[in-house]
Amino acid sequence: MKRGTTLLLTMLLALGLMVATTFGTGAPIGLPSADSMALSQKPQYIEGEVLVKYQTDSQASDHRSLRAAYQLSLKEALPFIDTELLATPKGQSTMQIVAKLAADPRVAAVQPNYLYHANELADPSLPSDPAFNLQWALHNTGQVINGVAGQADVDLDAPEAWQSGSAPASPVVVAVIDTGVDINHPDLKGKIWVNKTELNGIKGTDDDKNGYIDDINGWNFVNNSGQVYINASDDYHGTHVAGSIAAGINDGTGIAGVANQVSVMPLKFLGPGGTGSTVNAVKAIQYATSQGALLANNSWGGGSYDPALCAAIREFSRPFIVAAGNEKKNTDLRPSYPSAYDLANIIAVAAIDNRGIKAAWSNYGLTTVDVGAPGVNIYSCYPGGMYTYLSGTSMAAPHVSGVVALVLGAKPAFATDRIEDVAAVKKIILDSARANPLISLAGKTVTGGTVNARDALLLANGNTLPTPPDVTPPVLISVTPSNKSRNIPLQPDVTFYFDDVLQNVTESGISFVYDKTQPVDFTATVSGSALIIRPTAALPALKICKVTVAAGSVANTDGISTTSNYSTSFTTTATTTAQ
């Protein structure tokens, strides 16, 4: 049972005890059952309203005095059932008033004003996991997440992928090279890799002769034991990552992972404080290789170029998904490792939010970061059967790992260490992102888009995706007068030339001043690829003028706006002769 459900049931049981104690043999009371309140997420009754039926021998004066005594006001009479609908006073809940009235001898029966709902079937394409609505990364309807309204369909299209995919003959083994993983989390039940030789062997013996004793579910390289979970403080990160990849789907528990038919191999090399060494990282990668992991998720990074680590990743020879890092830097210029290693099996992942905007802190790189994926306000598993939101490229990477697992499950022929198969899987993942471009990733990643599970499976099955929309923003080519020009006529056409045909301009985003602060009245029009800004009157002579076109002020024929600020400055001529 999840902690939230336990807490709710505890509250309901406490309420039931209070009702039984307070009411005794008083008036009958209509209360919502614990089952209906626990199972339904819809409101059960109208807060601030109660229905009261008086004793048959009461008088109208008794009704008035009762309403006055409890500060109730008559909203409506229901003579058909000899009942009144009353409004309750502010500061007291409906159930508090119900409890008081039930004990009043003038009241024959009291109840809330219940709500009823159409018996609409739940969308059969969506899973039964109760917190699925919080997982915008999998299915974004524009729902509000942590106070931020999303952009519908900026997601992995996970339900569509689940409907189109076929279950693999055996689970896809995903190495989670990270902190430890809470292998007893209810949402990871049956999703943890098991070394059956060790499970069925002799305790304290290296039954499979792989150099690790009792490595039943993986290995802890920090303390050199088979204990892959230590505590919540140490291991919440890996637990959250594992949940995003593999949490049970349609199990009525918590959340849903991207891929259902997967088996997580916990390989703990990050210890207290989330730090780990080259040696332990290499050992973890070697273990994943020898024990048959088909891909590895790596939500970690930092440090300088590390030849030993680079060699180990190369030897892994399978998809190696890596978080791009959270230093808000261009890793083409300032590399972050291991994401920036030039290796064919690495897929480096930037983070986007539920509006499709690259996270401000996410690293990026036109040649070193491959794709974007949801990584802001990601709801997933937390040790002890709980759940929480976390943000980071660490949260983006497991979404890509989940999609890779779906592809390998649908196409087992790709699940090899052959160069051509690894390349084919990587191409599918990158092409799914190319088919889902985002303005915020244009020029920031190899693909300029975000990974999509549905499209990845379509591609894996040999389908061709439709041509994606062009979301490339207009970019300035040149401007006249050029910056710092002199002797410019007093009523010039200031013209910004772009690389795309323009459709409209927002004048409020344009600034035209002289002497730094003196505003100039102007008109702004577009013609072809040119934005023409013209002062409505002659400018003063010998003045430094500046024209600035703010990002978003100009859009092309596809409605895509500029994403950069552009400006030019010039000095007017000394003469007032005709222009």
Catalytic positions are: 178, 237, 394
CB count within 10 Å of CB 337 equals 19
Nearest to 156 by CA among 435, 369, 464: 435
State the DSSP string of 426-461. Answer: HHHHHHHHHTSB-GGGTTTSSSSBB--HHHHHHHHT
Residue 371 · residue 134 · CB < 8 Å: no
Residue 536 · residue 447 · CB < 8 Å: no
Angstrom distance (rounded) from CA 41 to CA 94: 18
Helix axes 453-460, 419-434, angle to 10 degrees: 130
Residue 377 · residue 244 · CB < 8 Å: no
Angstrom distance (rounded) from CA 8 to CA 340: 47
Burial of 157-187, coded b for 16+ CB within 10 Å and e otherwise, reads bbbbbbebbeebeebbbbbbbbbbbbbebbb
Residue 257 · residue 401 · CB < 8 Å: no
Residue 479 · residue 549 · CB < 8 Å: no
Q: What is the CA radius of gyration of the chain?
A: 32
Residue 238 · residue 178 · CB < 8 Å: yes
**Tokens 């491959």 sit on residue:** 370
The pairing of beta strand 554-556 with beta strand 530-535: unpaired
Amino acid 249 reads: I
**Tokens 């409004």 sit on residue:** 87
Angstrom distance (rounded) from CA 106 to CA 58: 7
Amino acid 530 reads: A
For the record, the structure tokens of 131 come out as: 């917190």
